[in-house]
Structure 1
Amino acid sequence: MSKETKRYFFIFLGFAVLLLFYFMPQVAPAIDPMGKSFELTQSGKAGIGLFLLAGIFWVFEVIPIGVTSIAIGVLQPVFGIREAKDAFRDFMDPTVMFILGSLLVGIAFTQCGITKRVAYKMLVLVGEDTRKILLGVFVLTALLTHVMAHTAVAGAMFPIMMSILALYGGDPTKPSKFGKALFMGMAFSAGAGSICTMMGGARNPAAVGFFKEFTGQDIGFLEFSAALAPFGWITVFLVFFLMITIYKPEKLKVQGLRQRAQVELDKLGPITKQEIFVLAVVGIALCTLIFKQYIPALKSMDRSIPLLAAGLVFFITNILTVKELEKSIPWNIVLLFSGAMSIGFALWQTGAAEWMAVSWLSFIKDAPWLVFLLGISFLVLILTNFIMNVAAISICLPVALVIAKYLGVNPEVVLYASVAMSGMPFLLLIGAAPNAIAYESKQFTTGEFFVTGIPASLAILAMVAILSLTFWPLIGIPAVLS
């Protein structure tokens, strides 16, 4: 079967699933433990069918992922799921604008040279020991994802890492244990670091947006980081130990690396006024995000405003130009996030998410809270490896929050566990852009990535249990509401 034949097969399969759910007979209502009945409406059935169509299209990329999102908006009114004005309103949700602002900040960092300066400085500091180089790359990657989208970080780190690999010796296009550890570890660290702040990945503000929509509670920038930064950083160091254990580097030292990094750093010269300006603008934006919940005048301001304002400043001062807007902004990804928000809200507003949640509840209604939390975490972990993490959050989080209400589980714990799992798809390349970027190094196969990701995935599942029993209650987030 040719590639084009397969593409048409999955296009047909997607529409077949949508039509199957649209025309299927009325199903039995879901009954919650209190005896309340939840009907699956015609629009709800079509909504589930549309989500499955989108999932098939996203997984197999039969059309560009952003175009699939456009299809989500178009097909909602066609199949009577929601009116067009409601379906497309979510495309400009403030959460999507927050993502756009994060991308603008990342591009500004790259344009003025801050990213390269930090990377070369790191190499000068860590020296030539391969284990220190790996740890340095992982730590730097994780740090950068605190203020940049992890896709942008992976893209910025890739050429630097290829230079490191070339200095390691031999043909950089041929796989080595060091190369496997370097690139797979970077992808894993990008995911781990990206859960530490709301700026690390699209799924973070998306999850917080859904959480606020469904619970009425808002999660602040600092509050989010306090809960998830320890999770992310423990994972970074676990990734390091995993990589040096499975892929022990052939060499203990990379001769000449420190000198090469110093040469490149010297070429950049002293820090420029432009770099200082960018750092200052981003610093002000971050401070606004962190402290807005403590300043009454700023509480009503949406979190997207500081980052978008920073982007506007960069355009006004010509640090960014229309060229970057047209070529550097991944509009395909922005559209993906828009469509994911749209289908997520569609599932909720049509009652489909609630019906699925209560149906699932019948299987785990007597489960202990920890079993429930790990079950949700496992579901998100599996889904986020097959579909984009924003889409995984958009379907799993509403379901999880409904179940949590009945089991008395703190919704914040559900939020943080879901975000952590959705940020670290360690099994499949399609789970996250850094995975695919790392694969471009040709240092590992998809099979090696999957096998390496199994112990990593089991480790983060275990961490959900450990943190929910220890750390989160210590900072005022008990797992069970009294």
Structure 2
Amino acid sequence: MANVLKQLWSIRVLLIMFISPLVLLPLPLHIGTQEAKTAYVLILMAVFWITEVVPISVTALLPVFMFPMLGVIKAKEIAPAYMSDTIMVFLGGLVMAVAIETWNIHRLMALRVLLVVGTEPRWLMLGLMISTWFLSMWISNSATTAMMIPIAQAILIQLKGTSDKLHDNEKTFDVKDNEQSTEVTDDEATHYKRICKAVSLCIAYAANSGGICSLTGTGPNLVLKGHAEELYAKYGEESPVHFTMWMGFGLPLGFTIFIICWIWLQIAFLRCRGGCCCCSNVEDKKERGRRVKQVIRDQYDALGPITYAQGSVLVLFGILVVCWISRDLGGVGGWGDLFKDGYVRDSTPAVLLAVLLFVLPAEKPAIFCWGTDEDEKPKPTRALLTWKDAHEKLPWSLFLLLGGGFALAKGCQDSGLSLWIGEQLEVFKGLNPWLMLLILCYVCSFFTEVTSNVAIATIIMPILSSLAINTGVNPLFYILPAAISTSFAYMLPVATPPNALVFSYGHLKVIDMASAGFILNIIAVPLLVFATYTWGDAIFDFSTVPPGFLTNQTVLSNLTHIV
């Protein structure tokens, strides 16, 4: 029996791939409605995404051929979902992020912050977290974590070196002190391990928290934006989800979670004595601080002064952020009013600035400069970004994953599956919306521990929007917090790439991440609901159902407002 089980486990991928479609065949063949055919695709993709029997980006391609073959949506109608305005926003943001990585601007910023915060473990953690948190708003969480972990490792090596020196000194004590010195050494070794765990986790948690702050920070945010635009357009309304509004809600929330993570990691791991978690006396503290600061200074100096290319990228990055924020200032104007109504979106400046990166030179042009040798031929200069840079560093698979999510959402809406699910969920209309939101966010936050947060967001968006419409609630009230809660992936290495990256360095065990992350999951969801109730309601007006949704007859008969 044991051998049989081992053999089955070894071919589990093939079993899931071939058995799942067969088990679900009664849906399209026996029931045969448009809703059932769409449910067949939805469930199959959910199984493939959760089990990852094939790459999740490959699973995202299933709607391209399955919806046309099942007669749900025409091929020419489903294909455009893979290149939408939302994906263009993501593309422009990622191209800018690639330029920042190419010219080492992210590393320069991170090291500068570390030089400012000081050398105490708690302040080093704060410096690492501030850098990671800020960068992950604009750069992918994975890339930010991959950049920050080597910096953290260099710091930990210096802490280890100080601890080893302390251990060597203790060996010179006479015999009667040996027992005491061994106890001290063991104690310091334990503290060093705790520092390693805390530093590793602080980077992963800061990356996850930073992704909440901006619309382009992480995949689920864009899934929500794309779904909201399609949903609101269907009911003749304009989606309120754009960069400025998102930052107004996400930035305070992400910053609050970031501070909570920092405090909790100190409580859980550092357990400081006299403000220092590695050395027992003032001299050792000074030695440790000197060594740590020197290694940061060496890395910072090795980068040299800011170059022309770095300055140019920083200027373009600043322009992009300002353009995103100022296009629509919450109904009080913005540069978007200079153009025809509805013609420009967040993708407009994103792609414009991305194109300029491939045009502007990386070196100060020498043309028409005084004092140059007339016989010296001008050297061709490279652009701030080359296609090779973009080709190698852009996460192309993520574009397919987002596109697959939008295609699946379109299938659910056009086939009527979303409406059918919403009607079945009307049994919850007597439940307080705030309690319902709390339950939904907890479910999403724990589901995202075992599968892709983008996949979970893609699956739940159509379901929750239908639930909201059929129970008389503003759809954004459910789908926006639920999308954010899929970023509360603190417990397991498989939950997000940042978790997996820090786990791979060997300082952590699964129990370390699970025990620390469980508390954060428990705390983060009520905080999210509180944010929704307070400044979120002030920004998005969750308490009012947009007029366009009132055309739905079910809503007319069950209209309620959140109070």
TM exceeds 0.5?
yes
Contact 2:154–2:295 (Cα < 8 Å) also in 1: no
- State the partner residue of 1:181: 198
2:318 paired with 1:291 = no
Shift in CA distance, 128/375, structure 1 to aligned 2, threshold 3 Å = same
1:374 deviates by: 1.3
1:203 matched to 2:220? The reply is yes
Question: 1:169 aligns to what SS in structure 2?
Answer: helix
Task: Decide whether the 8 Å contact of 1:106 with 1:148 is kept in 2.
Answer: yes
Distance 1:388 1:349 in 2: 25
- Structure 2 residue corresponding to 1:93, chosen from 84, 92, 96: 84
SS at match of 2:448: helix
- Shift, 1:275, TM fit: 0.8
> Cα 1:326–1:20, aligned 2, differ >3 Å: closer, same or farther?
farther
1:6 aligns with 2:15: no
| Contact kept in structure 2, 1:369 and 1:480, CA below 8 Å | no
How far is 1:300 from its partner?
2.2
Q: Deviations over 1:70-124 (max 9, x none)?
A: 2332222233332222222211122222222222111111111111101111111
CA deviations on 1:349-402 (whole Å, 9 max, x unpaired) are: 21212222221231x121012112112222322333333222222232232223
Distance 1:401 1:64, change over 3 A: closer
Question: Aligned equivalents of 1:428 and 1:86: distance in 2?
Answer: 38
Contact kept, 8 Å, 1:429 with 1:435, in 2: the verdict is: yes
Q: Equivalences for 1:334-349 in 2 at 5 Å?
A: 334-349=399-414
Consecutive aligned runs of 4 or more in structure 1 exceeding 6 Å deviation: none
- Which whole-Å CA distance do the structure 1 matches of 2:56 and 2:37 have between them? 20
Over the aligned positions, Cα root-mean-square deviation in angstroms equals: 2.5
| Residue 478 of structure 1: how far off its partner (Å) | 4.8
Decide whether aligned partners of structure 1 residues 338 and 468 sit closer, same or farther in structure 2, where only a CA change above 3 A counts: closer
Matches within 5 A, 1:467-482: 467-475=531-539, 477-479=541-543, 482=561
The letter for the 1-side match of 2:443 is: L
Q: Give 1:262's match in structure 2, choosing from 257, 273, 297.
A: 297
Counterpart for residue 352 of structure 1: 417
Mapped pair 1:232 → 2:249 = no
Distance in 1, Cα, partners of 2:418 & 2:539: 31
Give the letter aligned to residue 320 of structure 1.
Answer: L
Q: Is the 8 A contact 1:378 1:461 kept in 2?
A: yes
Q: Matched residues in 2 for 1:273 and 1:262: separation?
A: 22
Structure 1 residues 447 and 105 mapped into 2: Cα distance closer, same or farther (>3 Å)?
same
Unaligned runs of at least 5 residues, structure 2:
1-5, 164-189, 272-276, 280-284, 329-333, 361-382, 546-560
CA deviations over 1:149-179 (Å, ceiling 9, x no partner): 22322222222222223223169xx992222
Q: Does 1:123 align with 2:114?
A: yes
- 1:241 paired with 2:237, answer no
Confirm or deny: 8 A CA contact 2:198 2:265 kept in the other structure: yes
The residue aligned with 2:173 is none
Q: How does 1:11-160 map to 2 (within 5 A)?
A: 11-23=17-29, 25-26=30-31, 42-160=33-151
**Residues 398 and 57 (structure 1), Cα distance of their counterparts in 2 relative to 1, 3 Å cut:** closer
Tell me if the contact between 2:194 and 2:269 (Cα under 8 Å) persists in the aligned partners: yes
Counterpart Cα distance in 2 of 1:238 and 1:79:
49
3-state SS of 2:403 partner: helix
Alignment equivalent of 1:217, drawn from 238, 261, 269: 238
Aligned amino acid, residue 227 of structure 2: F
The total of aligned residue pairs comes to: 465
The structure that has the greater radius of gyration is 2
Task: Report the Cα distance in structure 1 between the residues aligned to 2:142 and 2:543, rounded to whole angstroms.
Answer: 32
Q: For structure 1, which segment, 302-311 or 457-466, has the greater mean C-alpha deviation from structure 2 after superposition?
A: 302-311
Counterpart in the other structure of 1:191: 208
Q: Which residue of 1 is the match for residue 312 of structure 2?
A: 277
Shift of 1:193: 1.3
Q: 1:427 aligns with which of 491, 495, 507?
A: 491
Q: What is the deviation of 1:406?
A: 4.0
Q: CA deviation at 1:239?
A: 0.8
TM-fit CA distance, 1:405: 3.0
Q: Identify the residue that residue 529 of structure 2 maps to in structure 1.
A: 465
* Pair 18,168 (structure 1): closer, same or farther in 2 beyond 3 Å: farther
Whole-Å separation in 2 of the counterparts to 1:341 and 1:383: 20
Residue number in structure 1 paired with 2:549: none
Query: Residue 305 of structure 1 aligns with which residue?
Result: 348
1:315 matches 2:332? no
**TM, length-normalised to structure 2:** 0.77
Matched residues in 2 for 1:205 and 1:297: separation?
26
2:278 corresponds to which residue? 251
The amino acid that maps onto 1:64 is P
CA contact (8 A) 1:58 1:65 kept: yes
Whether the 8 Å CA contact 2:37–2:70 is kept in 1: the answer is yes
Describe the SS at the equivalent of 2:60.
helix
Distance in 2 between residues matched to 1:428 and 1:43, nearest whole Å: 38
Q: Deviations over 1:398-442 (max 9, x none)?
A: 322232234443334334312320222223333322222222222
The Cα of 1:68 is off from its aligned counterpart by: 1.7
What amino acid maps onto 1:304 in structure 2?
A: S
CA contact (8 A) 2:245 2:539 kept: no
- After TM superposition, list the pairs within 5 Å mapping 1:355-394 onto structure 2: 355-362=420-427, 364-394=428-458
- Contact 1:127–1:257 (Cα < 8 Å) also in 2: no
Q: CA deviation at 1:476?
A: 6.5
Normalised by the length of structure 1, the TM-score is 0.89
Instruction: Confirm or deny: 8 A CA contact 2:220 2:484 kept in the other structure.
Output: no
Q: Is the 8 A contact 1:55 1:387 kept in 2?
A: no
Could you say which residue in structure 1 is the equivalent of 2:175? Answer: none
Name the aligned partner's letter for residue 304 of structure 2: G
Asked if the contact 1:108/1:278 (under 8 Å) is kept, the reply is: yes
**Contact 1:57/1:68 (8 A) holds in 2:** yes
